[in-house]
Amino acid sequence: MEGYRNILCAIDFSPYSEAAVERAVALTRSTGAQLTLLHVVEFFPEDRSNEQIAPEDTDPVKYRMSRARAKLAEQARFLGEIEAAQEVVVSEHSAKYEIVRFGEERKMDLIVVASHGLHGISALLGSTADGVLHTASCDVLVARSGA
- Decide if pLDDT at 2 tops 90: no
CATH code that applies to domain 6-143: 3.40.50.620
Helix or strand (DSSP H, E) at 126:
none
Tell me the residue type at 24: A
Q: What is the pTM of this model?
A: 0.78
- Of 31, 19, 39, 21, give the one whose Cα is nearest residue 80: 21
CA dist list (Å): 118 to 50, 62, 91, 112: 13, 21, 17, 16
Considering the chain, what percentage of its residues have pLDDT values greater than 90?
41
Predicted pLDDT of residue 28: 93
DSSP 8-state secondary structure symbol assigned to residue 55: P
- Of 130, 126, 140, give the one whose Cα is nearest residue 46: 126
pLDDT in tens, 63-112: 878 888 888 888 887 777 778 888 888 887 888 999 999 999 999 999 99
What angle (nearest 5°) sits at the alpha carbon of residue 98, between those of residues 94 and 102? 175
Predicted pLDDT of residue 93: 81
Helix or strand (DSSP H, E) at 119:
none
